[in-house]
A = this chain, B = another copy of it.
Amino acid sequence: MTQALKGIQVLDFTHVLAGPIATNHLALQGADVIKVESAAGDTMRNYGGQAFADGLAPSFVSVNAGKRSIVLDLKRGDHLDIARRLVARADVVMENFRPGVMDRLGLGYDACRALRPDIVYCSVSGFGQAGPLKGHPAIDQIIQSMSGLMTLSGEAGSPSMRVGFPIVDTFTGLLAAFATTAALLERARTGQGQMVDVAMLDAALVMMVSVAGPCLAAGVRPRKQGNLGYSNSPTADTFPTASGEITLGVVRQDQFEKFCHAIERSDLPEDERFLDRHARQKNGAALRSELIATLARHTALEWELRLGRAGVAASAVREVHEALEHPQVAQRGLRRNVRLPDGQLTQVLGAGFTGRGHEAADSAPPPRLGEHTRQVLAELGCAPAEIEQLCA
């Protein structure tokens, strides 16, 4: 793992998904992330049915490993004082409450800047800290609906369909991590902190830049076209095989010829219906029929191997668990071992990038609720008696 953010202390007031994903990216780069939780804890601690232990649901473990947890009741004066002392030591404050909540708690940007003048303060919300929708409630699927995202996937004419996992939360989290890191870089140059305001709606549109960009620039409307590639080549699509499906990325003439050779259909490029890209688009249905008949001779995994050797872009349609088992993923160090507090060994995903000299490393465990309360208080210089009082 890299240690790009080594020495950076992040005071993390986030919960559920987009915020914790943001601070997970920072933790994976070596930041010391102190997760501030209420006595009830982040609700993700108990998400889904398969918890490893009380408060350690797999969804929580996946994006909170390596953070520390401190329990504070921010409506209690002595606890708020601790939060303020932590702000004074922090490089970054990250929060994803509804706009206004941190201000009311006395932990808004202005208050934090008074405690720590060069603080990088990042707020994550549905719609942002200003504007007509400021403060409106939002969850991932609301933003998928509002942003246009639900109108992009599926066959032409099919009903609106969201992306089947919280992609807006995920993209927003990474965008917040990027914005925060850029702000830290600016601070390194200028000595100035800043307030960064990340909204899920904005993030969703930036995520869709490949369609929202041309739409904004020139009024180009996106079209749904199932699994047919953006090239509109009938050979950039997904096909059934003897077992499983295979996706091909065959676009250019040389790729088509190489592909036909690899599937022992060298007749196809000589067929006048498929002579060039234009002809193939015109006769796409006929070409698809020919290919389905041929691809039925082997399984998707067999074709993937054969086509890969021939240098043709092709992949079997895998499920997520199969992808995680792929030797390529193992070799990249994307799976990191983590030992849970009860001693059980499991794995979490790494940063998603590696580098020369980076070594696959184990991850520190996910924190139990309040596991580091006393440790963090001691680091603040609290005396044992004070710690007892605060934990009472």
A interface residues (Cβ-Cβ under 8 A, vs B)? 2-7, 17, 21, 24-25, 29, 48, 50, 52, 57-59, 61-63, 109, 127-128, 130-133, 136-148, 150-154, 160-167, 169-171, 174-179, 181-186, 188-189, 194-199, 201-222, 224-227, 229-230, 236, 238, 245-247, 249, 308, 311-324, 326-329, 331-332, 334-335, 346-357
Pick the most buried of A171, A175, A179, A189: most chain B CB atoms within 10 A of its CB.
A179
Instruction: Count chain B CB atoms within 10 A of each CB in A63, A144, A224, A320 and give the residue with the most.
Output: A320
Number of copies: 2
Nearest neighbor of A217 in chain B, beta-carbon distance: B58
Give Cα A140 to B148, complex, Å.
Answer: 20
**Residue picked from A7, A61, A184, A210, most chain B C-beta under 10 Å:** A210
Find out whether the CB atom of B179 lies under 8 angstroms from the CB atom of A210.
no
Residue pair B136, A308 in contact (C-beta under 8 Å): yes
Contact B334 A144 (CB under 8 A): no
| B132, B161, B214, B334: the one within 8 Å of A154 (CB) | B161
A62 in complex: contacting residue of B151, B179, B213, CB < 8 Å: B213
What are the 3 closest A-B residue pairs judged by CB atoms, nearest first?
A62-B213, A148-B320, A206-B352
Interface residues of A, dominant DSSP: mixed
Q: Per a CB cutoff under 8 Å, which of B4, B17, B186 touches A210?
A: B17
Do B147 and A153 have beta carbons less than 8 Å apart?
no
Chain B residues, Cβ within 8 Å of A217: 52, 58, 61-62, 346-348
- Inside 8 A of A63's CB, which chain B residues have their CB? 209, 213
Residue picked from A153, A207, A209, A224, most chain B C-beta under 10 Å: A209
Q: Which residues of B contact A181 (CB under 8 A)?
A: 178, 181-182, 185
Chain B residues lying within 8 Å of A355, measured Cβ to Cβ, are: 179, 183, 194-197
Please tell me if the beta carbons of B141 and A229 are within 8 angstroms of each other in the complex: yes
Q: Which residues of B contact A320 (CB under 8 A)?
A: 147-148, 151-152, 205, 208, 211-212, 215, 221-222
Q: List 14 A-B contacts (CB under 8 A).
A: A4-B185, A25-B178, A48-B214, A59-B210, A137-B313, A147-B320, A151-B317, A164-B225, A166-B230, A171-B207, A207-B352, A208-B320, A217-B346, A221-B321
Task: From known contacts A153-B161, A199-B353, infer whether A130 and B331 are also in contact, taking CB-CB under 8 Å.
Answer: yes
Alpha-carbon separation in the docked complex, A209 to B152 (Å): 22
Given contacts A164-B224, A167-B207, A175-B352, 8 further A-B contacts (CB under 8 A): A148-B319, A150-B247, A151-B319, A153-B153, A195-B356, A196-B354, A206-B352, A217-B347
